[in-house]
Structure 1
Amino acid sequence: MKTILTNKHISIETRKRALQCYIEPVLMYGCEAWTISKQIKDKLEATEIWFLRRILRIPWTAKKTNERVLNEANKRKSLVRTIRKRQTTFLGHIMRREKLEYLITTGKLEGKRSRGRQREKITDGLATWLGPGRVTETLTAVKK
């Protein structure tokens, strides 16, 4: 894909569409089950900017900020937002099924939790993205 994404004779819009059609789906494979921490979010945003720099043929040594690169490409950061939308859709799917995935996601399994700091759950990440009360509203609305 490097020859297509860096080709000067193909318009930038076409190259961005090729990126969106062929590269981003491979990058986001299985993203519905990811727990996105601050570090992962930063890496995803850096990857998105790196792709745009490659399309625009801007070397990493050039003194251009990420905002200037986004303006040049006439694009906004959308990768993390797309992942979060996919996660909310997948969460709704899980909540309607009421199978093992539902029990795991809602934390209604019998038994003790392990010692130490607890792992971040998918609902925790969505709560920070949607807002504190919106996840429980979404869960109860889907449940009905």
Structure 2
Amino acid sequence: MKISRQSIPVTIKIDQKQLENVKCFKYLGSLLTDDGRCTCEIKSRIAMAKAAFSKKKILFTSKLDLNLRKKLVKCYIWSIALYGAETWTLRAVDQKHLESFEMWCWRRMEKISWTDYVRNEEVLIRVSEQRNILHEIRKRKANWIGHVLRRNCLLKEAIEGKIDGRIEVTRRRGRRRKKLLDDLGDRRGYCHLKEKALDRITWRNCFGRDCGPVVLTDY
């Protein structure tokens, strides 16, 4: 599989056998696509999480305490949906899919149908929750990227653009494509992020749970 915005043919042979060029490939449980985006992977993870939710009948019973059921949802269901979320580059459409999935979980848990015309704000009040799934992703990503920036590894070199490869000379029209580090919301640049990552306490304070809202942007 070749990840590029240009349809340049690539031929790779091993022992005179040509490898098949595919548009999507599942590696270590994550779905990779040739456009380099995470939309298909996010939809796939959400579908698996919904299937797992339907099998956990204990989440539907009101005999269990509400707080216990919420912990079960975040422990068992969200873990499936957010597998590999540390590497996602979220666009606005992806963030909306994830927030819709979050509300789907609370509605199913409380047996609230979409035809009941109950607003999302009312559902959140009933379960004593806020919209947390995007903050959870940002926290996981910050923890993971902090470890990467403190190490000297191949992944760090890839983030810094030190890996040799084809570079597009001409810039496409429109807004630039969103990058992995953009979700952290620090607009002072990569060098500033790298400097903060060296101090674990400073990094946690900057990207903890109370680090501010996640801004919806589409690149």
**Global fold match (TM > 0.5):** yes
1:121 aligned partner: 179
**How much has 1:11 moved relative to structure 2?**
2.3
- Structure 1 or 2: more strand by fraction: 2
Alignment pair present for 1:140 and 2:195: yes
2:120 aligned partner: 66
**How much has 1:14 moved relative to structure 2?**
1.7
**How much has 1:4 moved relative to structure 2?**
0.9
Q: Cα deviations across residues 51-73 of structure 1 (Å, max 9, x unaligned)?
A: 00001110011111111110111
What is the alpha-carbon root mean square deviation over aligned residues? 2.1
TM-score (ref. length: structure 2): 0.58
2:156 aligned partner: 102
Identity of aligned residues (%): 30
Equivalent residue in structure 2 for 1:77, among 126, 131, 135: 131
**How much has 1:135 moved relative to structure 2?**
5.4
Q: Cα deviations across residues 81-135 of structure 1 (Å, max 9, x unaligned)?
A: 0110111111111111122111111223344424665653211222xxx331275
1:41 aligned partner: 95
Distance 1:71 1:135, change over 3 A: farther
Range that drifts further, 44-53 or 94-103? 94-103
Q: Distance in 2 between matches of 1:135 and 1:66?
A: 37
Counterpart residue type for residue 104 of structure 1: A
1:4 aligned partner: 58
Counterpart residue type for residue 84 of structure 2: G
- Structure 1 or 2: more helix by fraction: 1
Q: Distance in 1 between matches of 2:178 and 2:75?
A: 31
1:32 aligned partner: 86
Q: Which runs of 4+ in 1 moved over 6 A?
A: none
Distance 1:80 1:135, change over 3 A: farther
- List alignment gaps of at least 5 residues for structure 1: none
Q: Distance in 2 between matches of 1:121 and 1:113?
A: 16
Distance 1:96 1:69, change over 3 A: same
Query: CA contact under 8 A between 2:148 and 2:156: conserved in structure 1?
Result: yes
Distance 1:17 1:40, change over 3 A: same
Which is higher, the Rg of structure 1 or of structure 2? 2
Range that drifts further, 4-13 or 17-26? 4-13
TM-score (ref. length: structure 1): 0.86
Query: CA contact under 8 A between 2:60 and 2:109: conserved in structure 1?
Result: yes
Higher relative CO (CA 8 A, sep ≥ 6), structure 1 or 2?
Answer: 1
Distance 1:5 1:135, change over 3 A: farther
How many residue pairs match? The answer is 141
